[in-house]
């Protein structure tokens, strides 16, 4: 991969804690959240694992709707008027605003903006393009409620990173003003699965069979896996707003981020790529526990402030 990272992660620390987290994730996430466990069971496991989530003090959470879909708002004191539309990960099949409260509340607190976590529709009940359409509808809802495009960023992790990208591209295709920025944590960008990374230390979170299950249940029959609406790696990226991508190096989807950054940079996009050695898929979920996660969230906050949010 020739895409260059503009950022060198700090030296590895908390090695004992990292080892404990790796072992826990390998046993209780990678070992369970994959076939043959049914999707309904995977959903219950994720919710059980995220029942107790550290959230910063002072952030108010409230339930609402946006674009006809449920959502959760996280509001911190002194917010400057911007909003981050956050799209949770979970392989397009599991997860929701409740499983990602730690990330969302921390982003609200550190970035000084409101964070709206969207409860978009999931596969297999609702395959592509349902989730992407929900993102567009939510963005329209923000505009209709009075937010200007320059006050809105879109972000997400894994499947949510994918939806941030394809949702933004669809927003622009429909003639709506583009959001001011995108933030993607380990986005899935290529459903063909042809360039999957094999980290020497192993991926403690994602099992390859789970990736294939997600593709089979989310991608409609007859639609090629490299369709730009699903796989943004193959889209025309020239119109993307400034984009920050953070990725751990010990994860199967590393190349999804590296190849996206390479193609976006070649297309003239203001692309920021941050690689974190020794860390795994969406390590930012450990914010409040893992100092590297705190550091990464701080980098996101600084990026959004640079964009005027």
Longest Cα–Cα distance of the chain, Å, equals: 50
Out of 88, 207, 281, 286, pick the active-site residue: 281
Dihedral sign computed on CA atoms, order 94, 188, 305, 171: negative
Q: What is the pLDDT of residue 5?
A: 54
> Distance between alpha carbon 97 and the CA centroid of its chain, in Å?
12
Q: Residues 6 or more apart from 45 whose CB is under 8 A from it?
A: 28, 29, 32, 33, 37
Residue 73 near residue 84 (C-beta atoms within 8 A):
no
Q: What is the pLDDT of residue 97?
A: 98
Q: Tokens in use for 55?
A: 């959230």
Sole residue written with tokens 């380990």: 186
User: What is the homologous superfamily of the domain 7-306 according to CATH?
Assistant: Alpha/Beta hydrolase fold, catalytic domain (3.40.50.1820)
Q: Residues 6 or more apart from 193 whose CB is under 8 A from it?
A: 211, 212, 215, 225
Phi then psi for residue 101, to 5 deg, are: -70, -35
Residue 7 near residue 249 (C-beta atoms within 8 A):
no
* Catalytic residue flag (residue 125): no
Out of 251, 257, 262, 274, pick the active-site residue: 251
* Catalytic residue flag (residue 126): no
Residue 156 near residue 186 (C-beta atoms within 8 A):
no
69-75, strands of its sheet edge to edge: 7-8, 271-276, 243-248, 181-185, 152-157, 83-87, 114-118, 69-75, 60-66
Out of 158, 186, 231, 257, pick the active-site residue: 158
Measured CA to CA, the distance from residue 253 to residue 275 in angstroms comes to 12
Q: What is the pLDDT of residue 80?
A: 87
Measured CA to CA, the distance from residue 86 to residue 181 in angstroms comes to 12
Q: What is the pLDDT of residue 1?
A: 47
* Catalytic residue flag (residue 257): no
Please give the chain's pLDDT, 309 residues, in tens: 445 456 767 778 999 999 999 999 999 999 999 999 999 999 999 999 999 888 999 999 999 999 999 999 999 998 889 999 999 999 999 999 999 999 999 999 999 999 999 999 999 999 999 999 999 999 999 999 999 999 999 999 999 999 999 999 999 999 999 999 999 999 999 999 888 999 988 899 999 999 999 999 999 999 999 999 999 999 999 999 999 999 999 999 999 999 999 999 999 999 999 999 999 999 999 999 999 999 999 999 999 999 999
DSSP 233: G
Give me the count of residues in the chain: 309
Q: What is the pLDDT of residue 2?
A: 46
pTM listed for this prediction: 0.96
What residues form DSSP beta bridges with 155?
Answer: 86, 183
Q: What is the pLDDT of residue 11?
A: 74
Measured CA to CA, the distance from residue 98 to residue 206 in angstroms comes to 21
């Amino acid at each position: 991969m020739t895409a260059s990272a503009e950022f060198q992660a700090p030296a590895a620390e908390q090695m004992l804690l990292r080892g404990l987290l790796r072992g826990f994730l390998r046993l209780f996430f990678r070992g369970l959240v994959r076939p043959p466990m049914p999707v309904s069971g995977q959903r219950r496991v994720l919710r059980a694992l995220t029942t107790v989530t550290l959230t910063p003090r002072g952030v108010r959470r409230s339930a609402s709707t946006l674009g006809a879909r449920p959502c959760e708002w996280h509001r911190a004191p002194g917010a400057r008027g911007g909003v981050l539309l956050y799209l949770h990960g979970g392989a397009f099949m599991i997860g929701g605003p409740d499983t990602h409260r730690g990330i969302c509340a921390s982003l609200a607190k550190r970035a000084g903006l409101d964070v709206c976590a969207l409860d978009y529709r999931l596969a297999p009940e609702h395959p592509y393009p349902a989730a992407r359409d929900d993102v567009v509808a939510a963005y329209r809802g923000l505009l209709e409620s009075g937010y200007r495009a320059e006050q809105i960023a879109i972000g997400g992790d894994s499947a949510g990173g994918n939806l941030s990208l394809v949702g933004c591209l669809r927003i622009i295709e429909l003639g709506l003003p583009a959001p001011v920025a995108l933030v993607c944590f380990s986005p899935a960008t290529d459903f063909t699965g042809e360039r999957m990374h094999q980290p020497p230390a192993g991926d403690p979170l994602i099992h390859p069979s789970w990736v294939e299950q997600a593709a089979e249940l989310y991608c409609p029959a007859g639609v090629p896996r490299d369709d730009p609406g699903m796989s943004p790696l193959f889209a025309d990226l020239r119109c993307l707003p400034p984009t920050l991508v953070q990725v751990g190096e010990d994860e199967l989807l590393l190349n999804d981020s590296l190849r996206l950054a390479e193609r976006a940079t070649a297309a003239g996009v203001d692309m920021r790529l941050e690689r974190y050695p020794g860390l795994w898929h969406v390590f930012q979920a450990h914010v409040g526990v893992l100092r590297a996660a705190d550091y990464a969230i701080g980098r996101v906050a600084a990026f959004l402030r640079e964009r005027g949010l």
